[in-house]
Amino acid sequence: MFAHEFMRNAFLAGTPIALACGLVGYFVVLRGQVFAGDALSHVAFAGALAAAAFGIDLRLGLFAATILVALGMGGLGERARADDVVIGSVFAWILGLGALFLSIFTSDASGTTTGTAGVRVLFGSIFGLGLGEALVAALIGLGACAAILLIARPLLFSSVDPAVAAARGVPVRALGFGFLAILGVVAAEATQAVGALLLLGLIAAPAGAARLLTSRPYTGLALAGALSVLSLWVGLTLSYSIGALPPSSAIIATAVAIFAAAAVKARLGASRPRPHSPRARGAGEA
């Protein structure tokens, strides 16, 4: 399998991206911001299509769109947490813009490649990465991981109990913005691997599974990263061995299968009597 260059590149780029998705995803789930992550993934699509429509580099459009919208959503919501209705209204409009850019792009570039560009952005093209692109993707992924680990401790504190954290001098609002910016970077980066429509799976599913399996935060964080990387590896291998299976579908299906297994395990565990029941953690809910 590793004899092929595209497979090596896919693993090289995908592993750090998946790790970053898992780590960021853990906080996304902990803070109850899955819908924000979802919205950012659609923004990534509109951004990439805008870049395509105006003929600039796709990645520039991706990063600019996701980071700007992430900060904007932070600005709209209290304590840098936007509420669902605001997010829904904003990204319905941004998707409309995506439709506009798609129509500009397809009417400008009349050729055989027109239809596939939109599909590539929506569903990713991890097998199409060159060595240079893969290295850049890997470096950005590692950078995002480092950034999230750097602020992990105060972010955890301010996610679980923002009021107490603010009283103890933790910059809750700034952390919220910083976190959304990192989420934007990761969303833009993961769009290249699994696509704008599917990256939510890598963010939500491994983290959700980790939250179900353990209530200890650092164990959960590590577990989320590990499960995410595992989904990517299993997914890539499956897709390599089954020709008709697209890599993004295989990766997301694996991640969701892990989540489903964790949910079943948690439900079975909950019905069994326990000597010391763990307290229900209403994590991050104000």
Partner 1 sequence: MLTDPAAAGLSWNLVTDVRELTSFPFMVNALEAGTIVAVMAAVVGWFMVVRQQTFAGHTLSLVAFPGAAAASLAALPLAVGYFGACALAALVLSAVSGSGARNRSAESAAIGSVQAFALACGFLFVSLYSGVLNNLDSLLFGTFLGVTTGQVLTLLLIAAAVLTLVALTARPLLFASVDPDVARANGVPVRALAVGFLVVLGLAVAATSQITGALLVFALLVTPAATAQQITMRPGPSLFLSVVLALAVTWVGLGIAYFSVYPVGFWVTSLSFGVYVAVRIVRAVAERRDRTQEPASPEPVDSLVVQ
Residues at the contact surface with partner 1, assessed by CB under 8 A: 29-32, 34-35, 37-38, 42, 84-93, 95-100, 102-104, 106-107, 115, 118-119, 122-123, 195, 197-198, 200-205, 207-208, 211-212, 244-246, 248-253, 255-256, 259-260, 263, 267, 280-285
Rank residues 29 and 221 by Cβ distance to partner 1 and give the closer one.
Answer: 29
Q: Please report how close the Cβ of residue 133 comes to partner 1 at its closest, in angstroms.
A: 21
Contacts of range 97-106, beta carbons closer than 8 Å, 24 or more positions apart: 97/46, 97/50, 98/42, 98/45, 98/46, 98/49, 98/50, 101/46, 101/49, 101/50, 101/52, 101/53, 102/49, 102/53, 104/53, 105/49, 105/52, 105/53
Contact 17, 189 (CB under 8 A): yes
- Residue 52 Cβ, how far from partner 1 at the closest point, in Å? 14
Phi, psi of 277 (to 5 degrees): -75, 130
For partner 1, give the closer residue by CB, 184 or 246: 246
Min dist CB 230 to partner 1, Å, is 15
Q: Shortest distance, CB of residue 214 to partner 1, whole angstroms?
A: 13
CB of 135 to partner 1, least distance (A): 27
Listed residue (165, 200, 175, 189) closest to 74, CA to CA: 175
Number of separate helices (H) and strands (E) present in the chain: 12, 0
- Minimum distance from CB of 219 to partner 1 (Å)? 17
Distance CA(49)–CA(61), nearest Å, equals 8
Q: Packing angle between helix 217-241 and helix 199-213, nearest 10 degrees?
A: 130
Supply the minimum distance, in Å, between the C-beta of residue 19 and partner 1.
Answer: 18
Nearer to partner 1, 169 or 229 (CB): 229
Minimal distance, residue 263 CB to partner 1, in Å: 7
- As given in the structure block, the two tokens for residue 159 are 């996610």
Query: What span, in angstroms and rounded, lies between the C-alpha atoms of 1 and 233?
Result: 12
Name the residue nearer to partner 1 (CB basis): 61 or 118.
118
| Cβ proximity to partner 1, 21 vs 129, nearer residue | 21
Residue 159 C-alpha from the chain's centroid: 18
Please report how the helices 58-76 and 34-54 are oriented relative to each other, as an axis angle in degrees rounded to 10. 140
Euclidean distance between CA atoms 115 and 128, whole angstroms:
16
Please identify, using beta-carbon distances, which residue of 114 and 222 lies nearer to partner 1.
114
CB atoms within 10 A of CB 32: 16
CB nearer partner 1, residue 178 or residue 201: 201
Comparing CB distances to partner 1, the nearer of 98 and 141 is 98
